[in-house]
Amino acid sequence: MTLPENPNRSFPHHKLIAYQLALELVKLVACVRIADAQLRQQARKSAASAALNAAEGAARQTVADKARAYAIARAECCEACAAVEIAGALGACSPASVDSVLVLGARVRNVLSGLIR
């Protein structure tokens, strides 16, 4: 995903692939039909938190601060994936939805893991 050149899009997170992927995860989770309201809310909240923490990490100055924010983003990504996976196990969403979220979630997790080191 490439963002167009725009002076309003000059924040540090706009250049961060991890943020772009996390934002895609937010959009995907929002589209997944999860019948269980609590799991749906948790999946959406965690996916959004993953993107927010990735953005926060991009804006931090020190390596330690960046790593801390990226670690939180990675954990939130895993939580979002788990919420969708649990919904699937309960029959509250389709296996195809679970698979698509897990594939993108693994990509987000891997990119964020690289930023933590």
Q: What is the mean pLDDT of residues 92-107?
A: 98
Confirm if 28 and 66 have CB atoms less than 8 A apart. no
Of all residues in the chain, what percent are helix, strand and coil, respectively (each to 5)?
Answer: 80, 0, 20
pLDDT tens digits, 6-16: 666 789 999 99
Residue-wise pLDDT tens digits, 35-82: 999 999 999 999 999 999 999 999 999 999 999 999 999 999 999 999
Structural domains in the chain plus CATH codes: 11-116 (1.20.1440.60)
The three state secondary structure string of 84-106 is: HHHHHHCCCCCHHHHHHHHHHHH
Mean pLDDT of 15-21: 96
DSSP string, 28-53: HHHHS--SSHHHHHHHHHHHHHHHHH
**What backbone phi and psi angles, to 5 degrees, belong to 56?**
-60, -45
